[in-house]
Structure 1
Amino acid sequence: MTAVSSLVNEAFRPAFHYASKDTWLNDPNGLIFHDGTYHLYYQNNPFGNVWGNMSWGHATSTDLVTWTEQPVAIACDESEDIFSGSIVWDEYNTSGLGGPLAAPLVAIYTSAFKEDSPHYGHQAQSLAWSTDGGYTWTKYHANPVLERESANFRDPKVFRYSGPRGSYWVMVAVEAHDYTVVLYRSDDLKTWEYLSSFGPANGTGGVWECPDLFPLPLDGNEDNIKWVLTVNLNPGGPNGGSAGQYFVGDFDGVRFSSETTVTEGLQDPARLSEYLWLDWGRDYYAAVSFNNVPDGRRLMIGWMNNWQYSNDIPTSPWRGPMSLVREVSLVSFNAQIRLRQRPVWEANADPGRTVSYTGLDLDAGLHPVEGGTAVQVIEATFVPGSAEEFGLMIRGNGDDGTRIGIRPGEGRLTVDRTTSGNTDFHEDFSSIDSAPLQPTGGSYDLRIFVDHCSVEIFAQDGQVTMTELIFPDPENVGLALYASGGTVKASSLTLTTLD
């Protein structure tokens, strides 16, 4: 690679999303808040910027916006790769892995065993522990602690359950090729007892991975608790490739039961848009939540990429960013239950410089607006008129750019990245993607986070989200409003440039 092309690719490094310094990353792992610090572990190749040599990378933050890369936490070796998993704070040392003065952090991860292991060909669950706050780790001598003699048993999310049946650890993992979530319980994190299974259901167009299970109050009512099961799948997303889905229901300490299942068994392609998706964009995968967050908040983060083209995105020396952290809640909407996702941002980020517009009446065509930059937050409210489609073109040059549009007649939000910049690095990248979207009170509200290589869209206060990678010319920072086939009113437009 020439020095010039390297500089161009490095220009895509995100300003307010996490990416490693010079290596590959994918799924977030081991998310936990401990002793005032948020810990983000992740699938990492310490030796290159394509998938391989899976280990746990590590980054820390006190505000969920600014991250500090740490040394590799749990490394692969000659007998195993370290696949996805989770971390718990074993406050009462149920595992016996802590010291007399330090309750341990315990990582539960998938061992992908190699030829040098007697478990070669299997995936099983193993432990490592830390007594220095998550910076150095020791693998448990009796690994694995849970083996099903399966080649695709992976991605354990562990949490502490307390309910009518008692208090114990619960593991949620997957038999990936069976489209099945499997649940286990333990008193000590070492010995596990099978509880139940869930699936196949809804999206089954690809393997199931990276599950999560957690309670949330519906509409903030602590007397009405629902449980949310998230499952990521690849491929099979609503716009192709990788995606995450969720189910809402109940968990009684043994079994999860869903109230939102559309398709029992394998998916019906004709009903794909009826399933509940964490994000409708092409680039939000393996999303899981943080353990031990204060005040019971449920915070999630995902890998901002898609397995269709993840090894080929034009960045160097790093490859693969994370999404923004999102706080999720359960809300009622049109007699249905939905996850609302809001970026964790306002209290922690530099407010930057703001430009505001109001009452913009637009006829058909492209209408440039002053204030577009490569790194900014855009807040827009549209009142539909006669236009068949309307919205914004970001990171443009007057002719090309990324179009974020609303088609009221179809009830769809769209992202068109066919002329967004570098799209020919992989045949699957160029796309026009869409999500269902309905107005609230007669208007459409968009909150858009634009970074050097991505756009994250939160529509109608986070009831619909779309996340997409883009690779525009670094010089293309133009912003425009547009309408097609008629008129529209942009009742407000606020542009915040981030430093």
Structure 2
Amino acid sequence: MRNVTVNLCALMLLGHVAFAQNTLSKAEQHRPQYHFSPRAHWMNDPNGMIYYKGTYHLFFQYYPDGSTWGPMHWGHATSKDMVHWHEQPIALYPDSLGYIFSGSAVLDSKNTSGLGKNGQVPLVAIFTHHNPRMEKEKTGKHEYQSIAYSLDEGKTWTKYAGNPVLPNPGISDFRDPKVRWFEPAKKWIMTLATKDHITFYSSPNLKDWAKESEFGKTIGAHGGVWECPDLFPLQHNGKQVWVLIVNINPGGPNGGSSTQYFVGDFDGKTFTPFSTDTKWMDYGADNYAGVTFANTGSRTILMGWMSNWQYANVVPTSPWRSANTIPRELGLKEVNKELFLTSTPVKELDVLNSTGFTVNKLAVKGQYDLTAKANNESGLFRLELATQKADDFSIVLANAEGNELVIGYDKKANAYYLDRSKSGTIDFEKGFGKRHTAPRLSTTPTISLTVMADVASVELFADNGLTVMTDIFFPEKPMNKLYLKSATGITVSNITYKTLKPALSNEQNN
């Protein structure tokens, strides 16, 4: 494990000067410009995401003493718009009960926990304590659930004196509690990852938990351990439908970490899926451990960790490692009488839009160069594209060094793809430089795409978010060239291109 010493003032200056000019230093050349990343050191799963009094809180798995995984803390960042993030002091530190692993946070508006005082409504964090000493004893009881609370709108946190609130019954992987209030039964529901399945627990007060049911031992993908679940309702045709997402590592459709989901009913005790098919929320390699914000009303908004356990510890970034995906609004769409989860960029991201262009009815056969029209040295852009027919085509991001990131559609396979085999630095892990594919789920004759590109990532939302792919990449220089290609020929109904402004505001507020 490599320790990193950082001059925070110098980094802050770098953030406000170098980033604003889009002239990144060699060390920072892959720093995301509108995705959250910590100023320094290691980050993985988003935790405890909650909206309260006009502020979005993002907590995250954090190791402040190195840039590879280590004893976990809860880092903390806040935002008014989910676009401009401000890193805050560490929220939760390891203690005698163990490291602070993943979990969630809720607004206990009814003060069911009794932790509120003098009329102050408590925010309650529910998280996994991971005890390394007990892990060495191999009893299988080294993970258990604990709580902490905040009475100052999330600024500081106090751990509950009665921790743990949910002891381990003897399951080695017993973690990542996602808690929500279930109004019909007036109780809290905890969705917990328990090795190779999900276990649901309930509580009247966030302190005393009872087992309700289990799900998934014989359903879904089982190529790796189940982690970071979430259970939430969505509306479809005026009816409430429940979605259960489960992260799995390894076993994803394109290798390593990924997120599967199930659509069905939940009655406060048991989740019943409508089908037993395995569905994937994101077919790219780099959207893992995503969960939804609490307390966002009628909107359901998810952010994920933009990396993969196959290579997260060795990606060529310094002095930080990892970033989050953009926030995505979730919905449902019916295809052939089956419901699928959709993900689309939140509307708040529109604040990033800068100069751009629109082209209508463009016939492309061979290569069409959009570089001059885009006139974008940063490589940050949003592109909306619609076709008249679903024919072969690709969108190529490139630079003068010969690096290419290819986004495309293969008609014969009826599949979208992201190809990062020539995207720049790929030799840090043997499986990184590959082409990733995703089945096209839409049955419409036309294609619509939204592409969000940052300096070291691309997020593809196809057919109004029905098929989604997220990949990171590490070019030698910014991807400032842009091409459309089609060997067979394609007619593009319209293209809208917007250069995106950086959104870095990662100063620490002490």
TM-score, reference length from structure 1: 0.91
Aligned match of 1:390: 393
Given candidates 135, 145, 170, the residue that maps to 2:155 is 135
1:155 aligns with 2:176: yes
Residues 164-243 of structure 1 aligned to structure 2 (within 5 Å): 166-176=185-195, 179-200=196-217, 201-219=219-237, 221=238, 224-243=239-258
Q: Mind listing any 5+ residue stretches in structure 1 that lack a counterpart?
A: 263-274
Note if contact 1:374-1:395 (Cα within 8 Å) is conserved in structure 2.
no
Read off the aligned partner of 1:276 and give its amino acid letter: K
Q: What is the CA deviation profile of residues 236-292 of structure 1, one whole-angstrom value per residue up to 9, with x for unaligned ones? A: 001111000100010011100111213xxxxxxxxxxxx211100000000111111
How far the C-alpha of 1:441 sits from its partner, in A, is 4.3
Specify whether residues 353 and 341 from structure 1 end up closer, same or farther in structure 2 by C-alpha distance, changes over 3 A only. same
SS of residue matched to 1:95: coil
Read off the aligned partner of 2:194 and give its amino acid letter: E
Note if contact 1:384-1:408 (Cα within 8 Å) is conserved in structure 2.
no
1:409 aligns with 2:408: no
Note if contact 2:134-2:142 (Cα within 8 Å) is conserved in structure 1.
no
1:279 aligns with 2:265: no
Aligned match of 2:385: 380
Aligned match of 1:272: none
Read off the aligned partner of 1:352 and give its amino acid letter: S
In the alignment of these two chains, the number of paired residues is 473
Specify whether residues 347 and 451 from structure 1 end up closer, same or farther in structure 2 by C-alpha distance, changes over 3 A only. closer
In the alignment, the residues of structure 2 paired with residue 397 and residue 460 of structure 1 have an alpha-carbon distance, to the nearest angstrom, of 31
Aligned match of 1:363: 365
Note if contact 2:104-2:179 (Cα within 8 Å) is conserved in structure 1.
yes
In the alignment, the residues of structure 2 paired with residue 121 and residue 337 of structure 1 have an alpha-carbon distance, to the nearest angstrom, of 38
In the alignment, the residues of structure 2 paired with residue 476 and residue 337 of structure 1 have an alpha-carbon distance, to the nearest angstrom, of 37
Note if contact 1:383-1:444 (Cα within 8 Å) is conserved in structure 2.
yes
Read off the aligned partner of 2:165 and give its amino acid letter: V
Specify whether residues 451 and 120 from structure 1 end up closer, same or farther in structure 2 by C-alpha distance, changes over 3 A only. same
Read off the aligned partner of 2:340 and give its amino acid letter: R
In the alignment, the residues of structure 2 paired with residue 415 and residue 395 of structure 1 have an alpha-carbon distance, to the nearest angstrom, of 14
Aligned match of 1:113: 131
Aligned match of 2:8: none
How far the C-alpha of 1:351 sits from its partner, in A, is 2.4
Specify whether residues 396 and 491 from structure 1 end up closer, same or farther in structure 2 by C-alpha distance, changes over 3 A only. farther
Q: What is the CA deviation profile of residues 178-204 of structure 1, one whole-angstrom value per residue up to 9, with x for unaligned ones? A: x11001111111111110000121111
1:59 aligns with 2:77: yes
In the alignment, the residues of structure 1 paired with residue 352 and residue 325 of structure 2 have an alpha-carbon distance, to the nearest angstrom, of 18
Q: What is the CA deviation profile of residues 299-334 of structure 1, one whole-angstrom value per residue up to 9, with x for unaligned ones? A: 111000000000011111111000011110112123
Given candidates 455, 460, 465, the residue that maps to 1:452 is 455
Note if contact 1:82-1:110 (Cα within 8 Å) is conserved in structure 2.
yes
Aligned match of 1:252: 267
Aligned match of 2:118: 100
Q: Percent identity?
A: 40
SS of residue matched to 2:280: coil
In the alignment, the residues of structure 2 paired with residue 186 and residue 438 of structure 1 have an alpha-carbon distance, to the nearest angstrom, of 39
Aligned match of 2:9: none
Aligned match of 1:75: 93
Q: What is the CA deviation profile of residues 449-482 of structure 1, one whole-angstrom value per residue up to 9, with x for unaligned ones? A: 0001100000011111000001112244110011
Note if contact 1:369-1:481 (Cα within 8 Å) is conserved in structure 2.
no
Given candidates 44, 64, 88, the residue that maps to 1:26 is 44
Read off the aligned partner of 1:395 and give its amino acid letter: A
Single out whichever of 137-146 and 344-353 deviates more from structure 2: 344-353
Q: What is the CA deviation profile of residues 317-371 of structure 1, one whole-angstrom value per residue up to 9, with x for unaligned ones? A: 1110000111101121232201111111356523211122222212234645421
Note if contact 2:106-2:179 (Cα within 8 Å) is conserved in structure 1.
yes
Note if contact 1:290-1:299 (Cα within 8 Å) is conserved in structure 2.
yes
CA RMSD of the aligned region, Å?
2.1
1:464 aligns with 2:467: yes
Given candidates 328, 331, 334, the residue that maps to 2:330 is 328
In the alignment, the residues of structure 2 paired with residue 439 and residue 379 of structure 1 have an alpha-carbon distance, to the nearest angstrom, of 17
Aligned match of 2:427: 424
In the alignment, the residues of structure 1 paired with residue 133 and residue 437 of structure 2 have an alpha-carbon distance, to the nearest angstrom, of 44
Aligned match of 1:303: 305
Aligned match of 2:14: none
Read off the aligned partner of 1:416 and give its amino acid letter: D
Read off the aligned partner of 2:254 and give its amino acid letter: N
Note if contact 2:147-2:160 (Cα within 8 Å) is conserved in structure 1.
yes
Greater RCO, CA 8 A, separation 6+: 2
Read off the aligned partner of 1:279 and give its amino acid letter: D
In the alignment, the residues of structure 1 paired with residue 35 and residue 234 of structure 2 have an alpha-carbon distance, to the nearest angstrom, of 26
In the alignment, the residues of structure 2 paired with residue 209 and residue 69 of structure 1 have an alpha-carbon distance, to the nearest angstrom, of 26
Read off the aligned partner of 2:180 and give its amino acid letter: F
How far the C-alpha of 1:384 sits from its partner, in A, is 4.0
How far the C-alpha of 1:46 sits from its partner, in A, is 1.4
How far the C-alpha of 1:120 sits from its partner, in A, is 8.9
In the alignment, the residues of structure 1 paired with residue 143 and residue 307 of structure 2 have an alpha-carbon distance, to the nearest angstrom, of 24
Given candidates 139, 145, 157, the residue that maps to 1:125 is 145
In the alignment, the residues of structure 2 paired with residue 452 and residue 367 of structure 1 have an alpha-carbon distance, to the nearest angstrom, of 20
